[in-house]
Structure 1
């Protein structure tokens, strides 16, 4: 009997999850199938790798020795898929991904066309939802991966930057600031703001930069908090206030002359978009290829 990667992956998942049932759920296997894989690995090495009890799973000394090698094997497989993704142009498959609002509504639609031309046999099913929902769907294996606008800390997730974005000051074409291409932050904060709701990735980036500039975000005159970028744009267009948004989300309105994008001279509102997926799950090579494609793109207005 030869050692195989599937057995190592199963062992690693059981060790990480702490139970056969949890590992079975993650791996989409039955619990007896997980047990069979572990038994096969123990037969191959001729030693017990796990001590089973009714309450928990504990690694034997041999299991503790094997665990870092299993982890390295999984990392090497991920690196292999990453390296080979640049050569694979006849991929087939169906990707299920979740994207937060700005990415899903304004960034990805421009990338899906070029990606589909390059990889016509990969179909993409995308759900636009908030970060909490994306995490829940990934944990329940309803999505392969997610794309979010702000970093999170989750013990079961791999989180990687895939694309850089930068928020810009957005005003209506009739606003007094529209006469300028650059303004100072001290002047910007004297005007009323229309903002996304608290907790949104866009607002988080803006508030973090304000804090870095020794400004209390709570002192900003916020006249409206709205739950979508579209609603924020409409309110700004009507002159209710100014806002900070990704240039990707206002390209159409700027082209029509309805909104004006302005640089803030003494502040930078750069941010990363991130991909997230379960540590215990190996992404299909089609997903790896899609994420690599994203990393090669630049956002322009």
Structure 2
């Protein structure tokens, strides 16, 4: 018995068939079958009950499954712990990132990471969360970085970065003349320009408002736009105020185009998450990249 066999058994059990597991593991179906049979021979009992219509875990297989899961998790934790000692890493990382992360957060981190680890190449796709999940499931990328937690039976989430939304107003707006923070009640008196419903940024804003007893549907929304860049341009033109990640407006604030304002009675903090297949092991280069993000994104 070895870890590789446990990993294959776990994948077969999670995927529900040898063919699906073979596709996930990039192995031939006979090779997957052979490794599971070797594991069954090691324990001297059947782990899987096969029939023409379906495959089920035997009682022995049900007993083994949580141990196989724990061994996989322990391997991932071990790689994460040892990644900090790896300096001469090679590899090609294929990852996806949602809009705010891919366009505003990662660019300032990829350069320094590339200089520190020049032999790791990164292929980044900026896309929505649904597309990221699809490509991970189809093994077209190692992992993804997303703005809001999602539930998926085949995937696991880990918080890797922190973010915060702040009130963004045009320079000539009445709130821009205020000294210090403003209150939610004052903020909600004015028209808003917002990202489209379903975006991670908007969800964070609406969730916090609900927690504070405000109905998001009562916000005076004059415009809904599909990108952060469009929202910023609309705010610059004085069409409304908005809530955006602090990382997305650094340039505009430096140029004096908009003003960032704190909210006195609420905090709009969130995490960014990495997401990967539960049954897949990330390469060490990927573990190092995620570790780098945790250390340098604060």
* Shared fold, TM over 0.5: yes
Question: More deviation in 61-70 or 123-132?
Answer: 61-70
Partner-residue secondary structure (3-state), 1:264: coil
Task: Show CA shifts across 1:163-217 (max 9, x none).
Answer: 1111000011121211223111111001100000000000000001111111111
- Aligned twin of 1:62: 60
Q: CA deviation at 1:256?
A: 0.5
**Please, which runs of 5 or more residues in structure 2 have no aligned partner?**
none
**Please, which runs of 5 or more residues in structure 1 have no aligned partner?**
none
Q: How many residues align?
A: 297
TM-score (norm 2): 0.97
Task: Show CA shifts across 1:2-56 (max 9, x none).
Answer: x222111001111111111111111111211111111222222332221111111
2:19 corresponds, among 18, 21, 25, to 21
Partner-residue secondary structure (3-state), 1:280: coil
Q: CA deviation at 1:220?
A: 0.5
Partner-residue secondary structure (3-state), 1:195: strand
Q: Where does 1:231-270 land on structure 2 (aligned, <5 Å)?
A: 231-270=230-269
**1:163–1:297: 8 Å Cα contact kept in structure 2?**
no
- Aligned twin of 2:277: 278
Question: How far apart, in 2, do the equivalents of 1:231 and 1:66 lie?
Answer: 52
- Aligned twin of 1:157: 155
Runs of 4+ in 1 over 3 A off after TM superposition: none
1:185 corresponds to 2:197: no
Question: How far apart, in 2, do the equivalents of 1:76 and 1:165 lie?
Answer: 29
Question: How far apart, in 2, do the equivalents of 1:63 and 1:217 lie?
Answer: 48
Q: Where does 1:1-301 land on structure 2 (aligned, <5 Å)?
A: 3-180=1-178, 181-299=180-298
Question: How far apart, in 1, do the equivalents of 2:275 and 2:165 lie?
Answer: 22
Task: Show CA shifts across 1:95-117 (max 9, x none).
Answer: 11110110000000011112112
**1:197–1:226: 8 Å Cα contact kept in structure 2?**
yes
Partner-residue secondary structure (3-state), 2:296: coil
Over the aligned positions, Cα root-mean-square deviation in angstroms equals 1.1
**1:173–1:257: 8 Å Cα contact kept in structure 2?**
yes
